[in-house]
Every structure is written in C-alpha cells, then in structure tokens.
Chains A and B, each alone.
Chain A
C-alpha cells in the first residue's frame, strides 16, 4: 500500500468515512445534501490548509501559528464591514485589506521563527497562543464605528460574533451555483480554490519557488548556491500568513459570521490534521495532499453530525472527531521522530 502513498492516517480516515457513509445510507440521510455540503466545506477549510504548504516546503514545519494569518484576515474583513461594503465587492475588499496586514505580521512572525531554527513548530504554536490574547485586547479597543460590529450595550469594543448576513455572507458560495440532480455545485467557490492552488503550484515552478524547496531540503546547499536563506524563509512565512488570511475570509463568508477573540486559537489543529491525512510528510508536500486531505477530513466531520443525531448520541461523534484530529497529528509527529531516529 505504501507504493500508492497510502499511510496509516489515510487508512484510518478512509475506513471511518466508509463506515459513516454506510451508516448515513442506513439512516436514509439524503446524499445529495451531503455532497453539496462536502464541496462547500472542501473550499471553506481548503484555503486554510493550503496556507500550510509554503512553510512545509521551506522546511519550517507545520504552521501551528496559523492564528497570526487568521487575525490578519479578520482585520481585513472588519475594515470591509466597517466601510459597509456588500456582496462580492465587500469580500474582495476584505481580502485586499488583509494582505498588507498579513505581510506585516508575517514579517515579524518570520523574524521570530528564523531565530529558533529546528524548533519552529513549538515556537509557532506559542506565537499563535500568545498572539490571541494580545489581539483580544485590541478587539476591545478597536476604533471601528459600524454598530453591527460593536457591543449593543455601551457601543464600545467588538462583538465576539459578527453576523455577515447583510454584508457578504455566502457571497462566494452562491457565485455561479449550479444544481445537478439535486446536488448544488458551488462553481465559483471551486474555481476560486482551483485558482489559488494553481497559483501556488506555478509559484513553486518559478526560480524563487525552487529556491524555497531547496532551502527546505538542504539549507547549506542553498546557501552555497548563493541563495539568501533567511530571506527565502521569511518569504515562505509571509506567503503562508497571506494565504491563511485569504483562507479565513473564505471561511467567514461561508460560515456567515466573523468570529473574533478566542475563536482562531485552535484553528491550526484541524488544518494540520487535514494536510497530514492527505499524506503530507514534512517537506514532501504536494497540493494534491491539501485537496485530498481536506476533502476526506471535512467530509467525515460533516457526515458524523447527522448520524450522531440519528443515533441519539450527539457527543460521541464530537469525541471521535477530536480523537481523530489529534491522533493524526500525534502520528505524524511520531513518524517524523521515528524517521530521525532511524537516520541518527
């Protein structure tokens, strides 16, 4: 099985998924509904998962500091809502505003990670964790004026959850929606995701992208060939942060709400699980891993909900989901550690 790139996490998740589908059919849960939702969820989370790729390729590891990028995206969205921009324009403006913020934050984040070579993953985790309280403070004093975003009482400080219904909720989801045999296919959304994947794919074919892959594989070699390693690593981190910012924009419009404060805290873990499920192993990461991983992972998430409701055990599905998410990360860390042990 190893020849086909199938590892233990994929086997687990596929078995779990098949089990769920069989159960869903047994409980007569409508399949067309599940497929439509699976497609939406693929993109909704897929962009966030995609954002892990540049850092993985550059050998920096899994971006557990995903909240940094997410915060940049949230800030962009808030600016757009504050300007009362609506529909696709509002969403595009939000994405546009978030890019410079992401570059700035990514630069600082990169400066930190470049100082802790070899321990990036744990550092990134704590950068993420410590950045959130700092932003919590910011959200309470943020100088926004749209009452839809502020606490209704007192009129100061941001709400934890901002409804986007009158702004750009589902703006991209509903773009060029096509219905085939009862299955709603969000063509616009899928095209957007495909475009991002393609851009990233092309990026890694350029000279700079190649230098990034080389830095990930052998830093000393890249340095000898005249590559500025620190600069390449910083750009990989900026790129990851930028895509994460776009990712949360897509996520928020799909979800219909902007969630501030502690909401981004744990978002790195499902994304990390998804890419590992896809078969990514350190710097051996491809964009196909993102797509396959997100689809498998999010579909199991999606299906397990209604099944649990049918079985009258709502907690069980959640417990299983958590177990799978974290067990996959653990497996990946063990696998990486095991490899190092073999070599040394």
Chain B
C-alpha cells in the first residue's frame, strides 16, 4: 500500500533522512522507533503532506501510495488520498463539542438541505453526528459524553477524541500516529492500542511512532528502526523467532536505536520515618483537567516519592498546587510550620522548586540562551550570580559566574549543544530537560517537585535524567517528589509510590510490589475486591 524508495530529505546542509526504504501492507501495524532527532518527525511530515516539507525544498526519492507517485502540497491532499494523522500536539477545536470535533469536515447533513443549498451550505444533523460519535467512542471502549466541550477534556481524553476523528473517516487507508501514548498512563495506553489494533483489523495500515518500546513490540507486526536519518534495521515480530520475544526484542531495539547498550538506572528503596518535611492535610487543587481532591500525605526528608495515576487523575496537580500556580485549599505544613499563602516566590524562599511537565510552554525561555535559562531563576529569586552594586535597585547579573555555572553544568549533565549561548529552542527534548534540571540545581532546593521528567524523551537521555535526579537526591540531600505515568521508571528509583485515583489518594505502594497491583490501584480497584 505504502512504499518509500530511497527517500531523502535535507534542511539546508543538514540531512534529516538518508535514502529511507519502507513498506507497509494494508492491515499492518508498522512501528517506527528512533531516538530524538533520528528523523521520525520528518518522515511523518512527508507522509502527511505538511507544508514545511515543500517550503524547505521538498524531498528526493519515491513516495508511492496505492501505486501512485505522491508529492503532497498540503495536508488536505494527504487527507484526500486517505492518509490520516493523529498529532502529538492536539489539533482539536476547544470550543466545539466532542461530537462536532469527531465529525469535523465529515458531518452528517439533512438530505433535503443538501439538495436545496448544496453540499457546502447543508444543514448539519446534530443528532446523527452525536450518534456517530458515541458509536465510535463506544467501539473504542471510551466512556465519554459526546456533548462535552473538547477544551474541557483531560489530555488523555483529547488524545482519544483525536483518534476517534481519524477513525470516523470513511476512506481512511493509512493512519499515522505520532507518539499517541506520550501523554497517557499505562492503562490508557493499553486502551488506545486495543483501538488501534481494531482499526488495523479492518484493513487500515498504521504507522505507529512511539518512544515506548514495550508498546511498539506488543502491538506492531513490523518495526523499522531509524538512526541519524537512516534505516538501521527492519524487524518482523513473527520472523524474529522464539528467542526474540518480549524483553529480548526490546533490548535489541534499544541497542539498534542508540547504537550502543543502554544501562537502566536503578536504586534500591530506603525506608524512612524521620523528619516529616511536608505534611498535607485535605489538600485540594483546582487544576483544570487534573484535579486533586482532599489529599492527606506526609513526605519525609530525603526520600524520593513517586506520584502516579492515570492521566487526568491528579498526579501533576500536587506540585503545581504547592507552588501556588492553581487555587488550592487545605493545610500545608513545612517542617511543622503551617504555610498560609502558596505562591512561587514564597515557596522559593522556603527552598521548594518545581520542574513543570510542559517544558516548552512553562519550563524554558526558548528564545534565550542555555546559560540564561540555567541561571534565570537563581538570579531573580535567589540573587545568586549577581554583581554587587553601589546604585540601589540597579543590579546586574555577574556574567562570569553565569558562564562558569553554565559550562560546568553542560559538562556535568552532558548537554549536546554548540555552545552555552545557543538558544534552548534549538535543542532536542532530552537536552532541554537537562537545562531545566540545571536550572533547578542552581536553586539548590530542599524539596523538588518533578512532573513527568521523561515525557517525550528518548531512552538514552531518559536513563541519564533519572540518574541525575538520583544523584541530586544523594549528593544534595534533596527531597524529590516525582510525578509520572511511567510506572516502570518510578519503580526503579522511588522509595514509595503514591497512587492517585480520581484526584484522591488511593494507596501508597512500595516499589517492589507487582505491576498488576499498580495497574489495579490506578484503576481504583482493591486486590481483595477481586
């Protein structure tokens, strides 16, 4: 159905894709894996006809789809040919209902109005659209009212709605999925994969791009590994043989992706019952799409506490609420002293800091240099790296100290950049996260909230970031609260893991408990109930 022959693409002097060959048959789920910057996004952009490809000079090689040579000028043409795409960033209209979004540009209309006014101006049959939408959502196993406003949904639900919209296209032949599960928890990801398998069974070809190798291995028939823009290998799950199943296959894949072996970061949990650093009682946070409701939790000094839940069940609200980014209620005690006003400045004064889950929109100044990003907070809130000044109110940053700190951090955190003056926006996700960590370390906080530290980051950088978090805890005696949907990672590095369900604390589990217990806890089911 889809065949790429010697496909190459370069941006200026940088070659993003080097003669890529790829074949996908109808009904096949084809995995595409590779570390950040290996050319996955470029490939998807070509397939989905994004304008950026044509604007930067097009591509060379053959792109055959249904036996015709294709060169799309815009995403509309790709859609017309039957190629649908689910984006990493959501392309939903927030002001329209779920049903309207799913049926967008594919609406059911009243036949009489079509005759009267023509296709373009026909009256929309809302009831029929609602029925279609609920049918599709039902088939996907999602319990969601089609009347809800898309803008009010949680991230996970948005992802499902987006998928439902593509499923709704009658002539869909190839579906491109760009990190569909990046924002989902383990449980939600499973549901999504089931839905994808179902659509593939109907003869739609799927190109599945993901950083999560377990998923790729479990649902794809065939996997292509990209490294530095070239295809390194193509593995067929069935042909791989008996010894190449499950974990072995993941190891092979990750080895192929990075070109060297990745060592998993691990740390043995320590039981603590010493000083209670933070005591939260009936703590609620009104974070839209991720509410936290009446949390009672003690956090001990020096521990690494994991916080996990399905998306939308409140795991990212804890840090944001304590930092005062969203309205919060309840009592917070720090070292036994009650905290009255929750706002970032107060929290920084009390040596608390947070790494937000959305690096690009909250954690970085993309237009500023690496150095400025690393030192900004310390300069502003801590008066660190600041020159002494004779004139009151006029104080300048000490550029020499800033440069020193930035180059030391670059070396320590192994940040891949041209220089410390390079703009952060030009770095890859993993390196951006490292800059965020350097920024946090410059604040030398006692308590560090980390939200989704490895979201959208490739495996090599992932393990490195986890090891850096462990190091921060070990060397500086920081108390870390890491909220993440990546159960496997939390289990490897945390002392205790709090599981939230529907915004409430469901249980605090130990890292050596089984995956099954975690999955049950995330779904709000007690083991004794079964």
CA–CA, A210 and B375, complex, Å: 11
Are A224 and B380 within 8 A (Cβ)?
no
| Residues in chain A near residue B362, CB distance under 8 A | 218, 220-221, 224
- Report A219 CB to chain B, min CB distance, Å: 9
CA–CA, A211 and B368, complex, Å: 12
Are A217 and B366 within 8 A (Cβ)?
yes
CA–CA, A217 and B377, complex, Å: 14
Are A207 and B379 within 8 A (Cβ)?
yes
| Residues in chain A near residue B354, CB distance under 8 A | 224
Known: A210-B379, A211-B380, A284-B367. 5 other contacts (CB 8 A): A207-B380, A214-B376, A220-B356, A224-B354, A225-B376
Is A226 at the interface (CB under 8 A from chain B)? yes
What are 6 inter-chain pairs, A to B, with CB distance below 8 A? A213-B368, A217-B366, A218-B365, A220-B361, A221-B362, A221-B363
Is A228 at the interface (CB under 8 A from chain B)? yes
CA–CA, A284 and B379, complex, Å: 22
Query: Binary interface profile of A, 208-238, with partner B (CB < 8 Å = 1, else 0)?
Result: 1011011001101111111110000000000
Task: Label chain A's interface by main secondary structure.
Answer: helix
Which single member of A206, A218, A221, A226 contacts B348 (CB below 8 Å)?
A226
Are B345 and A226 within 8 A (Cβ)?
yes
| Residues in chain A near residue B199, CB distance under 8 A | none
CA–CA, A225 and B380, complex, Å: 7
Most buried by B among A206, A210, A224: A224
Are A217 and B367 within 8 A (Cβ)?
yes
| Residues in chain B near residue A165, CB distance under 8 A | none
Is B394 at the interface (CB under 8 A from chain A)? yes
Q: How many A-B residue pairs have CB under 8 A?
A: 68
Is A205 at the interface (CB under 8 A from chain B)? yes
| Residues in chain B near residue A222, CB distance under 8 A | 380
Are A207 and B363 within 8 A (Cβ)?
no
Residues of A within 8 A of B (CB): 205-208, 210-211, 213-214, 217-218, 220-228, 284
Are A224 and B356 within 8 A (Cβ)?
yes
CA–CA, A115 and B361, complex, Å: 22
| Residues in chain A near residue B395, CB distance under 8 A | 206-208
Residues of B within 8 A of A (CB): 323, 325, 344-345, 348, 354, 356, 361-368, 372, 376-377, 379-381, 386, 393-397
CA–CA, A158 and B471, complex, Å: 72
Are B368 and A217 within 8 A (Cβ)?
yes
- Report A341 CB to chain B, min CB distance, Å: 12
CA–CA, A207 and B345, complex, Å: 16
Are A217 and B344 within 8 A (Cβ)?
no
CA–CA, A224 and B355, complex, Å: 9
| Residues in chain B near residue A224, CB distance under 8 A | 323, 325, 344, 354, 356, 362-363, 377
Nearest to B356 among chain A residues (CB) is: A224
CA–CA, A165 and B379, complex, Å: 50
| Residues in chain A near residue B393, CB distance under 8 A | 208
Known: A205-B396, A207-B395. A226 touches B380 (CB 8 A): yes
Those 6 A-B pairs whose CB atoms lie nearest each other, nearest first: A226-B381, A225-B377, A226-B345, A220-B362, A226-B348, A207-B395
Are A226 and B363 within 8 A (Cβ)?
no
Are B386 and A207 within 8 A (Cβ)?
yes
Are B365 and A214 within 8 A (Cβ)?
yes
Nearest to B354 among chain A residues (CB) is: A224
Known: A218-B365, A224-B356. A207 touches B397 (CB 8 A): yes
- Report B232 CB to chain A, min CB distance, Å: 33
| Residues in chain B near residue A228, CB distance under 8 A | 345
CA–CA, A20 and B124, complex, Å: 57
| Residues in chain B near residue A207, CB distance under 8 A | 379-380, 386, 395-397
Most buried by A among B348, B365, B379, B397: B365
CA–CA, A205 and B386, complex, Å: 12
CA–CA, A213 and B379, complex, Å: 14
Known: A220-B362, A221-B365, A224-B325. A210 touches B397 (CB 8 A): yes
- Report A125 CB to chain B, min CB distance, Å: 26
Which single member of A213, A218, A220 contacts B366 (CB below 8 Å)?
A218
| Residues in chain A near residue B364, CB distance under 8 A | 218, 221
Known: A224-B325, A225-B381, A226-B348. A210 touches B366 (CB 8 A): no
CA–CA, A38 and B345, complex, Å: 49
| Residues in chain B near residue A225, CB distance under 8 A | 344, 348, 376-377, 380-381
Are B361 and A218 within 8 A (Cβ)?
yes
CA–CA, A218 and B380, complex, Å: 15
CA–CA, A223 and B380, complex, Å: 11
Are A210 and B376 within 8 A (Cβ)?
yes
CA–CA, A217 and B425, complex, Å: 12
CA–CA, A76 and B511, complex, Å: 70
CA–CA, A224 and B344, complex, Å: 6
- Report B347 CB to chain A, min CB distance, Å: 8
CA–CA, A214 and B348, complex, Å: 18
Are B380 and A227 within 8 A (Cβ)?
yes
CA–CA, A220 and B361, complex, Å: 8
Are A223 and B397 within 8 A (Cβ)?
no
